[in-house]
Copies of this chain bind each other. A is one copy, B any other.
Amino acid sequence: MTRLQSPATFDERGFLLSARSKEGQFSTTDGARQWLLERRRDQRCDVHRVPLADLRGWHDEPQSGDLVHDSGHFFRVQGIRARSDFPLPLEFEQPIINQPEVGVLGILARRFDGVLHFLLQAKMEPGNVNLLQLSPTVQATRSNYTRVHGGARPRYLEFFSRRAGHRILVDQLQSEQGLFFIRKRNRNVIVETAADVPVHDDFHWLTLGQIKQLLREPHTVNMDTRTVIAAIPLVASAAEAEANGCLPRRGTATFADALLTSTLAPNHGCQTMDAILSWITEIRSAAEIDCQPCALASITGWTRDDRELRRADGRYFKVIGVSVASDAREVPRWTQPMVEPCAAGISAFVTKRIDGLLHFLVQARMEPGVWNLIELGPTVQYLPGTPLDEAQRPFMLDDVVSGAATTHHRSTQSEEGGRFYRYVTENIVIEIDESDDRPVPPQYTWVTLGQLNTLIQYGHYLNIEARSVLACLDVQAP
């Protein structure tokens, strides 16, 4: 008879060592930058707008007016009609992308000299600023990998479809932009292999530390990489932190140490995880939300001509057409509809020490396309075209943009370049003073990074905008 033992706390995944590794086995970070620039130069691609009426392979479905692919695959642009009383009464109708397939966002990992490296791809996507950005090893919808489009099979897919002999480090279903996709979710997965991996020219091994450095630069690490990286807890135990020269403790620590301390506090925040789950349950229970998919032709306030689909007042976003030619994708030439926002967005986390422990301010947000209708977003999630009058001005937006608080991260990133045309978001992390005791509205609450990691792990709790900012958090020595 064996007595129960306490849980193993030292995590063997080795994420922290990789995150603290500023240089990789195969290149310096500068070298990786150079490689990406070369790939951008070498891959010939051309993206230009075309009228919706000129899309080849796409048509308006007779009765609904939905924009659909002739094959019935890929995705459709349809309508959605939403009514919600959370946090304020709101009714709206809009076009939305329906892409029911679960995609795979898979990063292959391998240890070199004991340090985890991640295989990223220089991948062209038509909506990306810079076109080529660093994407996961495999970034494929089911239509991709079952080759509905008749193209080539994505490289390295076999590491994710046959798991035997490999080790799963991360494996989660996560939502995508709930204002633009209806119930879309992707599998976020990191697989570690010990096998020899032939590296194609468009791929490169990087440490987590190198990826974090590149995340400080604009339009370099794509959204699909960011969501997978966001699933990685910065540290698994105090022992792992200390073994990597960090000192997780409350109080006047560096921001990197404060992040690690907060990661190690899933149960010691200013509130328990039970209290956080109860807060979410109360909000999800009390909100009256009705979201109904509908025919694109039936929504009001939007006009469709041969060129594009847009709101009469020009707000929020348009649906446009693009034509793409590339020598580096599964299919050399295609046209497709894309969503083009009318301006840039902001996703920002406000952090604050509470009793010396770093907390993040999250907000519960209603978004018509997320599975639970309400997920948690960053403190400020400002969407292009949203009115900025007093009543609707996002809480703490001024703190985020004024630069008065300590800014720990600020970078300009592209949203997913396969569906969004140059949708740019400022990703920001600021820290306000511990003495700042402004009350927060009831749909906001302070949580530790360890609590955010736990919520991410169980899926459908943190939205993509929140995860994208969290991916940027860096724990490298200065």
Contact = CB atoms under 8 A, between A and B. Distances in A.
Interface of A: 1-5, 7-8, 100-102, 104, 142, 163, 168, 171-173, 187, 189, 238, 248-253, 261, 264-265, 267-268, 274-275, 277-278, 281-282, 284-286, 288, 290, 356, 371-372, 457-460
A92 B206 CA distance: 48
B1 A102 contact: no
B171 A277 contact: yes
B356 A2 contact: yes
Nearest to A282: B171
Contacts of A282: 163, 171, 187
A4 B285 contact: no
Contacts of A8: 267
A168 to B, nearest CB: 5
A258 to B, nearest CB: 12
Nearest to A284: B173
Contacts of A457: 277
Given A104-B285, A168-B278, A4 B261 contact: yes
Given A4-B238, A100-B290, 8 more contacts: A1-B251, A4-B264, A7-B267, A104-B285, A142-B288, A168-B278, A171-B281, A371-B372
A356 B4 contact: no
A274 B4 contact: no
Closest 10 interchain pairs by CB?
A: A171-B278, A1-B251, A7-B267, A458-B458, A187-B285, A102-B285, A2-B250, A171-B281, A168-B278, A1-B249
A286 B104 CA distance: 10
B277 A4 contact: no
Nearest to A186: B285
Contacts of A142: 288
Q: By DSSP majority rule, is chain A's interface helix, strand, loop, or mixed?
A: loop
Contacts of A173: 281, 284-285
A8 B265 CA distance: 12
A168 B274 contact: yes
Contact of A249 (B2, B171, B264, B281): B2
Contacts of A277: 171-172, 457-458
Contacts of A248: 4
A5 B268 contact: yes
A36 to B, nearest CB: 29
A154 to B, nearest CB: 15
B268 A4 contact: yes
Contact of A1 (B104, B238, B250, B458): B250
A164 to B, nearest CB: 13
Contacts of A187: 281-282, 285
A252 B1 contact: yes
Nearest to A290: B100
Contacts of A2: 249-251, 356
Contacts of A284: 102, 173
29 contacts: A1-B252, A1-B356, A2-B249, A2-B251, A2-B356, A3-B249, A4-B250, A4-B261, A4-B265, A8-B267, A100-B290, A102-B284, A102-B285, A104-B285, A168-B275, A168-B278, A171-B274, A171-B277, A171-B278, A171-B281, A171-B282, A172-B277, A172-B281, A173-B281, A173-B284, A187-B281, A187-B282, A281-B459, A458-B458
Contacts of A7: 267-268
A106 B360 CA distance: 31
A7 B284 CA distance: 28
A99 B286 CA distance: 15
Nearest to A104: B285
Contacts of A101: 288
Nearest to A372: B371
A76 to B, nearest CB: 13
Nearest to A261: B4
B4 A249 contact: yes
A232 to B, nearest CB: 13
Nearest to A2: B250
A419 B220 CA distance: 54
Nearest to A241: B4
A143 to B, nearest CB: 12
A264 B6 CA distance: 10
| Most chain B CB inside 10 Å of its own CB: which residue of A267, A284, A285 | A285
Contacts of A172: 277, 281
A371 to B, nearest CB: 6
